[in-house]
């Protein structure tokens, strides 16, 4: 089983939000240690490859947007 600390998750998430998606539009992206570890059209194949190349690490998997994307965040006061 994976053991991902919240700092690792935040680092990977921040890296995804700051990514330049040129050439990756519509593809699955795997991020490990804040870096793109791989990309592809099939998420299962990508996960298998990235897990093999990064044993013990839990990649963040996300699909790169095909067009501009708007992310909204709601905060309770």
Q: Please list the pLDDT of the chain residue by residue as tens digits (77 residues).
A: 445 578 888 899 899 889 998 999 999 999 999 999 999 999 999 999 999 999 988 899 999 988 776 666 666 66
Q: Residue 1 has what pLDDT?
A: 43
| 54 assigned to some structural domain | yes
Would you say 64 and 31 are in contact if contact means Cβ atoms under 8 Å apart? no
| 16 assigned to some structural domain | yes
| 71 assigned to some structural domain | no
| 53 assigned to some structural domain | yes
At residue 39, the 3 state secondary structure works out as strand
| 47 assigned to some structural domain | yes
At residue 40, the 3 state secondary structure works out as strand
At residue 61, the 3 state secondary structure works out as strand
The total domain count for the chain is 1
Would you say 16 and 59 are in contact if contact means Cβ atoms under 8 Å apart? no
Model pTM score: 0.77
Q: Residue 32 has what pLDDT?
A: 95
Q: Residue 77 has what pLDDT?
A: 61
């Amino acid at each position: 089983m994976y053991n991902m600390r919240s700092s690792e998750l935040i680092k990977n998430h921040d890296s995804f939000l700051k990514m330049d998606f040129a050439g990756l539009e519509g593809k699955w992206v795997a991020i490990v240690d804040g870096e793109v570890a791989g990309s592809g059209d099939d998420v299962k194949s990508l996960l298998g490859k990235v897990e093999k190349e990064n044993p013990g690490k839990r990649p963040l998997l996300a699909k790169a947007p095909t067009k501009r994307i708007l992310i909204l965040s709601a905060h309770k006061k």
